[in-house]
Structure 1
Amino acid sequence: MGRPRLSIGTFGDITTRATRSGRFEARTRFRDWDGRTRIVQATGDSAKAAESALKAKLVGRSEVHLASGHGHLTPDSPFGDLVAYWLQDIDLEGRISRTTRMLYERNMRTLVLPVFEHLTLREIGVARCDRFIKEQARISYNRAKQSRVVLRLALELAVRHEVLTANPMHHVSRIHREVRMPDALTSLEVNAIRAVIARWESGIDHVSGPRPDGQLGAIVEVMLGTSARIGEVLAIRRRDVDVTGPTPTIRIGGTIISRNGESTFRQDHPKTAKSRRIVAIPSFTAAAVRRRLAGACDLDPDSLVFHSREGTPLSTANVRRQLRQVLERAGIGGVTPHLFRRTVATAVSDNASVELAAELLGHTDTKITVQHYIQRRELVNPATAELLERAFRWDGD
């Protein structure tokens, strides 16, 4: 019937024999993590010493495979081993961006691991996960959402690799958040913001430090004319702009990335595949871009339209901070670059359709546009009054 098949990571009977040199040799069959059975041997001054040396060699062989990410997780493995294995698997797949990978690791190590690190995989069930997510939600919705994502992904890997039979996160109750209607600026508010920025850039109230270079106002005009995210606006190159043709356009094809410990750089693709788009721009945006290009010395097609005095990319955090500081000095608070994106979406939806708004924003689903970007109007279309007049009109007393 032949020898029984060994399980992965196990060895068979150990045999010892004396060698011509007077030493002893111990050998056995070991089934490696690639499924192949190999002969492993070790020597010693005695049969017992050779056998001990062989067992130590087998243990070391197993530890090497565990350290290299080919280890054999079991339901009794600590959660920390799964986390290490999950991060290695992400790197092996190479499907997500480095920024997302760093975000996953940060959220796992700061939000999830402190709670689960002393548990084995077997001990992580639905009730424990459900309670954990609810406790996170009491702190903030975003905290619970981020925790849920990484914990679900790590446990899903354990299921795919046949360590767990089911993912307990699939049965955790949904996270509920307070419904918040998207806000948007009115045309009067937009013009007030423009006026404040124009006054600041004119230098009328300038006291000390570098004088404003005129970029902030142009950045706002591009956001209003394209609905682009702030990172996408700051990533626009000269080659992406056409303001001389009959229909001026801007191509949205990149974004700005800032990571801890690294210089800010331009990524050659935006947030999603549909975010890559060419947008026809209104005259006020085209005029702002023309002024910006006319004042720039660098004529390289790959140079950024908006950049620092040294020619390096602007970080989104610095632009947000500058916008906030300029407007707060004039008593205007709560204005963020994303608010301009919602304002544009609302204007396009009100004057055309939600489908066109979604296309402009680069969304794949209009549900996202409606839920997060379009301000709901309280006024119902007055046409309903005429319809009801025709349906139920009564000339009696």
Structure 2
Amino acid sequence: MARPPLPIGTWGTIRTEKLGPNRYCARARYRDHDGRTRDVEATDTTGPAAIRALKIKLRDRVTPNDDEITRDTHISTLAALWLDEIITAEHVSPQTISRYEISVRVSIVPALGNLRIREAGAGRIDKFLRKVAEDRPSAAKSAKVVLGQMFALAVRRGALTTNPVRETGRLRNPRRQVVALETEQLNEVRSAIRKWQQPTPGKSGPRPTGDLADIFDLMLATGARIGEILALRWEDVDLAAEHPTLTISGTLVYLKGKGFFRQEWTKSDAGHRAVVLPRFAVGMLMARKITVADNPQDAIFASRRGTWLSPQNVRRQWRQARAETGLEWVTPHTFRKTVATLIDKESDADSAAAQLGHKTKEMTKKYYIVKPALAPDSSGILEQLGAKMATTDPDRRDHGPTRAT
């Protein structure tokens, strides 16, 4: 009967041989992950030392192949090869690739780049991700996505049999309380913007325009993201309709080497939507249409040079306007939450989700709607429990209040 083959990834009896003074060789038959059995050997100054060296070599055994990725490939090299692959495949959007490149450059390579693939076990990767998550939870989640795809490439090329990233623990973002603007706070925001837009004697630089106030008003009128607002063109607005509407069909994105440009689709399919404008937004847009200069993009909000106005520029202006006002917690996304909370209060979560461009209301309820601190008034219902107790408990019915002793 033929001897059964070794299980894949195991070796047979280790044999030692003296090659000369202080020179020993240890050999074993090893069945590689391609199914073939090969001789593997290691040498050292003593027999036991040669056996230990052989066991280490067998543990880190790489199946012979002609591929450029092996277990000894550095993670920095793996990252570069993976980025080249997804760029060549052209199935990932340019802005997503840009985010992946940032994650590789800022998070992954500085911490793990000098490790070899075989050295990056699940425990080491898990420790790295949790360290990043302490200060930058979103960066840790992005790094986990990138590492998962990088090591998936290593598995496909035969350098690994399993993906260690799959064995890492789940990353949890700290739950943040949803905060929306109350009417008084909204008035403070508008007051801060008006004060910031006023000319200041002796202040250098160009005078602030009225863009910031108009942008925030349109965010409050639509619940749209800042990138969606800044990507709006006059052709997206119908002010002559009986119920004036605004169609959100794109967003501003940034690519290294290209700058900001209008992406002709929204963040998700549900994000492509038309919203009916309230009167205050219609009035603002009509006044703006008359007073602002034309620009090549037909943008409602353009820079002084007629180019797309970047979200970073708007955020910078708002930081300047809110300085020393106690409104540091207010961001452009706060307006989106304010819209969702008000619509949910006056209508329902489904309407709020549709206004914000969410596919389902679950995300809207979890991240955009302020939870009421006061439970619904059920005192009338609960009163039945007290009435029932009073009529069925003879001791309570026949005796007055108990005096404390």
TM-score, normalising length: structure 1:
0.75
Q: Is the 8 A contact 1:79 1:117 kept in 2?
A: yes
1:362 is matched with which residue? 357
Q: Is the 8 A contact 2:98 2:256 kept in 1?
A: no
Partner AA of 1:385 in structure 2: S
CA distance in structure 2 between the partners assigned to 1:327 and 1:220 by the alignment: 13
- State the SS of the aligned residue for 2:259: coil
Is the alpha carbon distance of 1:245 and 1:207 closer, same or farther for their aligned partners in structure 2, counting shifts above 3 Å?
A: farther
The Cα shift of 1:369 comes to 1.6
Structure 2 residue 246 is matched with structure 1 residue 250 = yes
2:25 is matched with which residue? none
Is the alpha carbon distance of 1:77 and 1:205 closer, same or farther for their aligned partners in structure 2, counting shifts above 3 Å?
A: closer
The Cα shift of 1:173 comes to 0.9
- The structure 2 residue matched to 1:143, chosen from 139, 142, 164, is 139
Q: Is the 8 A contact 1:235 1:266 kept in 2?
A: yes
1:343 is matched with which residue? 338
Partner AA of 1:75 in structure 2: R
Is the alpha carbon distance of 1:162 and 1:358 closer, same or farther for their aligned partners in structure 2, counting shifts above 3 Å?
A: farther
Partner AA of 1:103 in structure 2: R
The Cα shift of 1:72 comes to 4.2
CA distance in structure 2 between the partners assigned to 1:237 and 1:191 by the alignment: 28
1:115 is matched with which residue? 111
Q: Is the 8 A contact 1:200 1:206 kept in 2?
A: no
Q: Deviations over 1:136-172 (max 9, x none)?
A: 2234323322221211111122224443221111111
CA distance in structure 1 between the partners assigned to 2:183 and 2:212 by the alignment: 19
Is the alpha carbon distance of 1:371 and 1:160 closer, same or farther for their aligned partners in structure 2, counting shifts above 3 Å?
A: farther
Q: Is the 8 A contact 1:185 1:340 kept in 2?
A: yes
Gaps of 5+ in 1: 1-65
Partner AA of 2:327 in structure 1: I
2:97 is matched with which residue? 101
1:181 is matched with which residue? 177
2:150 is matched with which residue? 154
Is the alpha carbon distance of 1:328 and 1:239 closer, same or farther for their aligned partners in structure 2, counting shifts above 3 Å?
A: same
Q: Deviations over 1:303-357 (max 9, x none)?
A: 0001112211111111111122122255533221111111111111222222221
Partner AA of 2:231 in structure 1: A
For 1:302-381, list aligned pairs within 5 A.
303-328=298-323, 330-381=325-376
Q: Is the 8 A contact 1:255 1:268 kept in 2?
A: yes
CA distance in structure 2 between the partners assigned to 1:204 and 1:229 by the alignment: 29
Q: Deviations over 1:111-139 (max 9, x none)?
A: 11233333332232212212222222234
CA distance in structure 2 between the partners assigned to 1:238 and 1:164 by the alignment: 54
- The structure 1 residue matched to 2:220, chosen from 208, 217, 224, is 224
Partner AA of 2:105 in structure 1: R
CA distance in structure 1 between the partners assigned to 2:115 and 2:105 by the alignment: 15
TM-score, normalising length: structure 2:
0.74
Is the alpha carbon distance of 1:75 and 1:329 closer, same or farther for their aligned partners in structure 2, counting shifts above 3 Å?
A: closer
1:126 is matched with which residue? 122
Of the structure 1 ranges 190-199 and 339-348, higher mean CA displacement relative to structure 2 is found in 190-199
Q: Is the 8 A contact 1:324 1:335 kept in 2?
A: no
Of the structure 1 ranges 136-145 and 372-381, higher mean CA displacement relative to structure 2 is found in 136-145
Is the alpha carbon distance of 1:311 and 1:118 closer, same or farther for their aligned partners in structure 2, counting shifts above 3 Å?
A: closer
- State the SS of the aligned residue for 2:275: strand
Structure 2 residue 378 is matched with structure 1 residue 387 = no
CA distance in structure 2 between the partners assigned to 1:177 and 1:267 by the alignment: 29
2:271 is matched with which residue? 275
CA distance in structure 1 between the partners assigned to 2:209 and 2:201 by the alignment: 12
Of the structure 1 ranges 116-125 and 338-347, higher mean CA displacement relative to structure 2 is found in 116-125
- The structure 2 residue matched to 1:164, chosen from 160, 164, 170, is 160
2:6 is matched with which residue? none
Is the alpha carbon distance of 1:88 and 1:260 closer, same or farther for their aligned partners in structure 2, counting shifts above 3 Å?
A: closer
Is the alpha carbon distance of 1:82 and 1:269 closer, same or farther for their aligned partners in structure 2, counting shifts above 3 Å?
A: same
CA distance in structure 2 between the partners assigned to 1:211 and 1:127 by the alignment: 55
1:4 is matched with which residue? none
The Cα shift of 1:184 comes to 0.7
Partner AA of 1:244 in structure 2: A
- State the SS of the aligned residue for 2:126: helix
CA distance in structure 2 between the partners assigned to 1:88 and 1:171 by the alignment: 26
Q: Deviations over 1:48-81 (max 9, x none)?
A: xxxxxxxxxxxxxxxxxx9xxx944233333233
Q: Is the 8 A contact 2:295 2:306 kept in 1?
A: no
Q: Is the 8 A contact 1:215 1:292 kept in 2?
A: no
The Cα shift of 1:220 comes to 0.8
Gaps of 5+ in 2: 1-64, 392-396, 398-405
CA distance in structure 1 between the partners assigned to 2:152 and 2:128 by the alignment: 17
For 1:37-76, list aligned pairs within 5 A.
71-76=67-72
